[in-house]
Structure 1
Amino acid sequence: MNELVPEDPVVRLSGLKRSFEQGGVRIDVLRGIDLAIAPGEIVALLGPSGSGKSTMLQAVGLLEGGFEGKIEIAGIDATALSGDDRTVLRRDYLGFVYQFHHLLSDFSAVENVILPQLVAGKTAANAHERASELLASLGLAKRLDHRPSQLSGGEQQRVAVARALANRPRLVLADEPTGNLDEATADRVFEEFLKLVRNEGSSALVATHNERLALRMDRVLRLHEGVLS
């Protein structure tokens, strides 16, 4: 695993572009994005629906091809890697939180947080300890054995946050992480998300259309017509 020195960015994007063909018309979604996120920095990515926020997160998360430009994660040029190596990089360096929690319905809260750790090679005992600690820090100590259907929307999203942080990622990518919750619950969950990310020492790139939530982060970027400002 690469060791970053303080001035090295966790992620660096250089000239990132993404275009689609629709009805014979070329649509430029990203028009040459340059971005560097420092270790421990939490960055808001603001923009209305359809502005390309999710597309940009998919690029940084190494979830989709078809991009032009360079993506570096922890100093590693992801664009030069094979598919298998990109999968390993994604597993070891990145965590993901989505608008919808995508928890495994047949598994308990603690099992949902244990599973990605087992995939990464941790022992069952260590994975259980880590999962229990993360869930407890999010106020779910008494809900470890509950399945998603037995949890409220806010509790489900807390489990998703714990799962994203389970393998101590360098960078957490969050796409409208509280967009499916009512305002009061969204505020509580987002505050807990920020606290946990900071306590873990991770960086985060958070796509949102919520100006109020964006102002709680270290830096606010706006994506408009494929360009960051």
Structure 2
Amino acid sequence: MNDVLVVRDLTRSFTQGTETVHVLRGVDLDVAAGEIVALLGPSGSGKSTLLQAVGLLEGGFGGSIRILGEEAARLDNDARTRLRRDRIGFVYQFHHLLPDFSALENVVLPQLIRDTPPAEAEQRAAALLGALGLQHRLGHRPAKLSGGEQQRVAVARALANRPALVLADEPTGNLDEATADMVFDAFLAAVREQNAAALVATHNERLATRMDRVLRLHEGRLHDAAAPAKAV
């Protein structure tokens, strides 16, 4: 398979007073192009920590993270920033849209940062938002959009630069069930249309079963959710 993400022996520890807390204890993970992987685990299990590592959002991790064959540990800050900007898309539980910008402008902006010509960026943003059912809401600011609409704008923004890897941290966690289903349908369709690799952290086991593979983070290690996690 064409692996976009390859993680080997990933570790992360934090010091709390005199105690060392081991959050990740040697995580191995492969995600291929076109594959959507669910990451299950209770609050505090390290799901967000794992996504932060894979998304190159902070340091302090041991082990290897390779994205499209590039070893993150070997990149300087500028190269890591470019890789994160050009190859990774993020969707969070809370949309974090810019309140003074319209839906269209929120999706245009990351493309302009990547030096996409404005006309091309607007065309791409309008097409993405239209595919997500927001063609009549392009000029609305976030305050004028429903929660589900705001989250669909966030999905469009994450996909604007055609990332090879999409990371989503509880993308429907603050939505009611019906709205969550609608947003998740749109998310799956948009990610699959781009043949991106995706890693989705969620508490929702029902939604997890709709993805291609389900993993569970337990005591700092990943396990196939089809088999019970063993204590280590």
Tell me the TM-score normalized by structure 1.
0.97
1:17-36 aligned at under 5 Å gives the runs 17-36=11-30
Deviation at 1:38, TM superposition (A): 0.8
| Paired letter, 2:88 | L
| Paired letter, 1:51 | S
Number of the residue aligned with 1:169: 163
Number of the residue aligned with 2:98: 104
Task: Tell me, yes or no, if structure 1 residue 66 matches structure 2 residue 60.
Answer: yes
Query: Runs of 5+ in structure 1 lacking a partner?
Result: 1-6
Number of the residue aligned with 2:128: 134
Deviation at 1:23, TM superposition (A): 1.8
Number of the residue aligned with 1:53: 47
Number of the residue aligned with 1:92: 86
Deviations 1:125-149 (A, max 9, x none): 0000000000000110000000000
Distance 2:55 2:13 in 1: 17
| Paired letter, 1:101 | H
Tell me the TM-score normalized by structure 2.
0.95
Distance 1:178 1:26 in 2: 32
SS class of match (2:199): strand
Distance 1:92 1:167 in 2: 6
Distance 2:138 2:123 in 1: 12
| Paired letter, 1:225 | E
Distance 1:216 1:192 in 2: 13
Number of the residue aligned with 2:2: 8
SS class of match (1:179): coil
Deviation at 1:200, TM superposition (A): 1.2
Query: Runs of 5+ in structure 2 lacking a partner?
Result: 224-232
Residue of 9, 34, 39 corresponding to 1:40: 34
Distance 1:11 1:51 in 2: 21
| Paired letter, 1:95 | G
Deviation at 1:104, TM superposition (A): 0.2
Number of the residue aligned with 2:139: 145
Number of the residue aligned with 2:153: 159
Instruction: Name segments (4+ residues, structure 1) moved above 4 Å.
Output: none
Deviation at 1:203, TM superposition (A): 1.0
Number of the residue aligned with 2:194: 200
Distance 1:163 1:41 in 2: 20
Deviations 1:65-100 (A, max 9, x none): 000001000000011100111000001110000000
SS class of match (1:65): coil
Deviation at 1:201, TM superposition (A): 1.1
Number of the residue aligned with 1:4: none
Number of the residue aligned with 1:78: 72
Distance 1:78 1:21 in 2: 24
Residue of 103, 108, 125 corresponding to 1:114: 108
Number of the residue aligned with 1:188: 182
Distance 2:40 2:123 in 1: 36
SS class of match (2:3): coil
Distance 2:182 2:42 in 1: 23
| Paired letter, 2:220 | G
